Every structure is written in C-alpha cells, then in structure tokens.
Amino acid sequence: MITIGSLIMLLYSILLICMVAGYFRLNKLKPESGRAKNKFSVIIPFRNEEKSLPGLLRSIGQLNYPVDHFELLFVDDASEDNSVIQIKEHLKHTAFNWQLLINRRVSQAPKKDAITLAVSVARFPWIVTTDADCILPEAWLNCIDSQIVQANTTMVCGPVKVSGSPALLTTFQVCENLALQGITMGGFGWSRPLLSNGANLAYRKDAFYEVKGFKGNDTIASGDDMFLLDKFRKQYPGKIQFANDAAAIIETSAHTTWRSVFNQRVRWAAKTASQKDPWLMLISLLIFLTNLWLVIGLVWTAFNPELLMFYVGLFLLKLTIDLVFIAIINWFFGLRIPLQYLLPGSLLYPFISTAVAVRSIFGKYSWKGRQFNR
C-alpha cells in the first residue's frame, strides 16, 4: 500500500510539473490591428436557459466585431420555458444577423444534433460554438480572428472560466475548472492538444464535413468538443491552436446544487471510455487512481492506524501540488478564490471524483430533464 501510494503520487506530481512546463511554453496571442478578416457563424444550442440568456444576450450586444462578419444561430432543443421568447424579444430590433432554429433529433446526442443542424445552414466559413449560460468578452471574435490570421490553423480552442458567488460549491467548481484549463493549456504548450471546451471553440466548416462531423460518436450524449478535437488532431496535425489571450476568456456560471454538479461530471466522465487518445486516457487513469488511492487509503488507515502519518503526508503533498498548480494557472484567469473553502473542497474532491467515475461506468445520469445511458 505504501509503495503503490508513493508511486502514484510521484507520477501525479510529474504530470502536473509537465503541464506547468507546457503552460509556460504557450505562445502569447498578439492582437491583430486593422479590419477583421474572417467571418463566423456563431452556434448557440440551448434548452431551458431563461435564467442564463439575459447575460449572454447582453454580452452579444457588446461584441466588438463587425456585425456583417458574423451571424448568430440559436438552436432550441425542446425548451419548456421562455427561452425562445427572450431571444426573439431581445434581438428583433438589433442589427445582428440571427436565426432561431428548432433542433431535429436524429441521434442520442441532442447537442450534437443541434450543432450539426446549425452547421448545415451556416453562411460563413468558420463555425464558432458557445453555450447559452456563458458571458462573451467583447474581444472574443477578434481574438479568434487573430489566432487564425497568425497561424495556419483549422481549429481554435479558447479558455473558459467558472464564476459565481463565494461558497464551497462554487470554489469546488472554480478550482476543478482551473485544473482542467491547466491540462488544456499544458497540452497545447507541448503541441499535443488534449482537451477542448465547446463553450469556446472554432473550426472551419469545410473541415467539419471533412472529418464527417460527429459520425461515429453520436450515440454518446456528451463530448461534442472532445470527439471533434480528436478527429481534427488526426486529420489536421499541427493545425489546432489555443487562443492564449485573457481577452478571449469566456465566463460560465457555476452550478448552484451539488446534484447538478455531480450529474454534469458523470456526463463528462461517461465519454471517457470512448476516447481514443492514449495520452488522454493515461492522464485520466492516473488522476482517477490518485483520487481512488486517497479514498482507499483512508479506509485502510482506519484498520492500520500506524499508517496514519504516511497517509496524511501523501494527502498534504497532493494538496500542496494541486494548490500550486491552480495558483499558477490562475495567473492567466485572475480569479479571486476564497481560501477558506480550499481545504474542504480538497477533502471532498477524491470522494466525489471516485463516485463520479463509478456512476459513469455502471449507471445512468440525468441532464436538463432527460435521462441518458452511459
């Protein structure tokens, strides 16, 4: 038990050190001067988002990009609230080019169906996706445009931050997201994209069809971003870039209940078994084993109290490594993290992540009022 725990923690430490090194290797995005060069079709799928849409719509109105260089494609996925009315009322007297589409379910993945439908009617060569619960920075499209101009790229992945009122639940989500963003940026720093986020993702329309869209993974409800990244990485090696500019950060709100957080993570984890990237699989497995060992180790220590100091030492080592990693990545995002919630969140994380992994393998999950199988 001691040998296994020490080895796992050593490998985990090496992983985070490599991700930090990759983060510092990332090239800083240089804003382009002059007129915007690329045109975008912005796709926003939504379902029952009447509470989030006002913030999104206000931020759309503040986008600093020529209105004739982008269109808005909202895709309603069977909303049962006032989302559709909100969008129509807000946009009907604006200068934006926009459409409201009704999703057509043809697979077990509603969001992938929505994106596929919107891509089919998109007028512009670049597709950009985001979520209805996001706040868009005013320079968002400018940053994507600059990345396209500066590099011969086919896909641009952008940064996403989680925000909310100071609380344990919010801090838990903020820190977890910072860790995911750190792995994302670290992978790009080593020219090995590992993760992407559909809340801030852009790609060429013709390339979407070249890789056959979501064909082959449309039986899995989640993963519209990750499966597409995997296809693009194989089809267009070296042509996937990260928008390394704080002005490109999209903000999304933290969930307000532990239940919704748990279900979201089960939904994310459910796609892991279908991932084909060996490096991502190894990283996911190492992170899972690290947290699983902390859970098993606590039980083991209860029956072997002489191992208590060893267990506490490894736990504190992981806590220190995690906090340093999160602090470094947070230099980019500039979030205020309430220190009083860091320790409780760290104590909870191994148990929640282990429960999520088990549930994603053996159980169903619910999301936005629907039930999904793994």
Alpha-carbon gap, residue 272 to 269, rounded angstroms: 5
Q: Are 186 and 19 in contact (CB under 8 A)?
A: yes
Maximum distance among all Cα pairs of the chain, rounded to whole angstroms: 71
Above 60 in pLDDT, residue 374?
Answer: no
281: left (phi over 0), alpha (psi -120 to 50) or beta: alpha
b or e along 158-192 (b: 16 or more beta carbons within 10 Å of the residue's beta carbon)?
bbbbbbeeeeebbbbbbbbbbbbbbbbbbbbbbee
List, in order of start, the domains of the chain with CATH numbers: 34-173+189-256 (3.90.550.10)
In the chain, the DSSP E strands lie at 40-46, 70-76, 97-102, 126-129, 134-135, 155-157, 160-163, 201-204, 240-242, 250-253, 365-367, 370-372
Q: Tell me: the pLDDT tens digits for 318-372?
A: 999 999 999 999 999 999 998 889 888 988 999 999 988 888 776 666 666 666 6
> What is the full DSSP assignment across 89-100?
HHHTTSS-EEEE
Above 60 in pLDDT, residue 284?
Answer: yes
List 45's β-bridge partners, or say none: 75
Q: Tell me: the pLDDT tens digits for 63-76?
A: 999 999 999 999 99
Q: Tell me: the pLDDT tens digits for 225-243?
A: 999 999 999 999 999 999 9
HSE-up of 7 (CA within 13 Å, CB side)?
Answer: 5
Q: What angle do CA 109, 111, 116 make, to 5 degrees?
A: 95
Identify the band that residue 207 occupies on the pLDDT scale cut at 50, 70 and 90: very high
Q: pLDDT: is 374 or 298 the higher one?
A: 298
List 371's β-bridge partners, or say none: 366
Alpha-carbon gap, residue 64 to 92, rounded angstroms: 20
Q: How confident is the model at residue 364, as a pLDDT?
A: 65
The mean-pLDDT minimum among 69-73, 135-139, 184-188, 284-288 falls in 284-288
Q: Tell me: the pLDDT tens digits for 73-83?
A: 999 999 999 99
Percent above pLDDT 90 for the chain: 68
Q: Tell me: the pLDDT tens digits for 298-311?
A: 888 888 888 888 88
Which pair of structure tokens corresponds to residue 273? 């078994």
What is the chain's Cα-based Rg?
21
Alpha-carbon gap, residue 99 to 213, rounded angstroms: 21
Alpha-carbon gap, residue 58 to 65, rounded angstroms: 15
Residue with tokens 């070249």, as numbered in its chain: 210
Please give the single-letter amino acid code of residue 138.
Answer: E
Mean pLDDT, residues 88-93 taken together: 92
Alpha-carbon gap, residue 223 to 292, rounded angstroms: 24
Q: Which residues contact 102 (CB under 8 A, 6 or more apart)?
A: 75, 76
Q: How confident is the model at residue 303, as a pLDDT?
A: 84
Q: How confident is the model at residue 222, as a pLDDT?
A: 73
Above 60 in pLDDT, residue 3?
Answer: yes
Above 90 in pLDDT, residue 35?
Answer: no
